């Protein structure tokens, strides 16, 4: 069954939700059917009935588009404040590892592609920096609760939390106990209990 050749219109710099969904649907379908090699701007634009200009305006490179596909597939995430940093990190690991049971292959592909595609590497670096920045308010709360050692470097600790999650994905250990992992990751940074 052929689809009508109706082109989708842009509404400027902000993605039109209908067009954005059509583009991401087309990209996901192409990726599933043809793999990464089939994920070209021409093919996506043709499948989504959108202009290449629109694609480039919203996703300046393939990495940005791949990450948009990943974020959409993974769904939104919330970080609750449990009152314990170990618990906060463990719950995040549990939720992310659970999502990666289904969507981890796509994120692994993005990390692999970043090794030889500068556009993907650039998008992945921006994504990593956002994840690190997301942890800083959580770590500042833990600092105020005096859970962290006085010399704890929050930026480095946030990088470590993110890096460990990605490492466990890439080494196919998503069945790891999230509470044990969180305790091990945080151990060097936690305030020593007075005896």
Between 99 and 194, whose confidence is greater?
99
Looking at residue 96, its pLDDT comes to 93
**Residue boundaries of the structural domains of the chain:** 17-58, 72-189
Place of tokens 């592909």: 109
| pLDDT above 70: residue 5 | no
- The CATH number, out of the four listed (2.40.33.20, 3.40.50.720, 3.20.20.60, 1.10.357.10), of the domain defined by the range 72-189: 1.10.357.10
Instruction: Give mean pLDDT, residues 111-127.
Output: 93
Q: Give the largest Cα separation in the chain, rounded.
A: 74
Question: Please, which pLDDT band fits residue 71 given cuts at 50, 70 and 90?
Answer: confident
Tens of pLDDT, residue by residue over 90-112, are: 999 999 999 999 878 899 999 99
Looking at residue 20, its pLDDT comes to 87
Looking at residue 84, its pLDDT comes to 96
CATH number of 17-58: 1.10.10.60
Looking at residue 3, its pLDDT comes to 43
- Output the 3-class SS for the chain: CCCCCCCCCCCCCCCCHHHHHHHHHHHHHHHHHHCHHHCCHHHHHHHHCCCHHHHHHHCCCHHHHHHHHHHHHHCCCCCCCCCCHHHHHHHHHHHHHHHHHHHHHHHHHHHHHCCCCHHHHHHHHHHHHHHHHHHHHHHHHHHHCCCECCCCCHHHHHHHHHHHHHHHHHCCCCCCCHHHHHHHHHHHHECCCCC
């Amino acid at each position: 069954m052929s689809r009508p050749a109706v082109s989708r219109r842009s509404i400027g710099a902000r993605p039109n939700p209908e067009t954005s969904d059509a583009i991401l649907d087309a990209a996901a379908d192409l990726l599933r059917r043809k793999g990464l090699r089939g994920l070209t701007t021409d093919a996506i634009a043709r499948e989504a009935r959108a202009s290449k200009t629109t694609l480039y305006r919203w996703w300046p490179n393939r990495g940005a588009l791949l990450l948009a596909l990943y974020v959409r597939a993974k769904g939104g995430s919330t970080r609750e404040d449990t009152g314990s940093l170990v618990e906060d990190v463990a719950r995040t690991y549990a939720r992310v590892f659970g999502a990666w049971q289904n969507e981890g292959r796509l994120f692994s592909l993005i990390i692999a592609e970043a090794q030889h595609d500068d556009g993907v590497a650039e998008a992945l670096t921006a994504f990593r920096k956002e994840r690190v920045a997301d942890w800083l308010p959580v770590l500042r709360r833990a600092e105020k609760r005096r859970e962290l050692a006085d010399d704890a470097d929050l930026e480095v600790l946030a990088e470590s939390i993110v890096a460990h999650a990605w490492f466990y994905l890439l080494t196919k250990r998503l069945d790891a106990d999230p509470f044990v992992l969180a305790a091990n990751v945080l151990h060097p940074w936690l305030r020593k209990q007075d005896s």
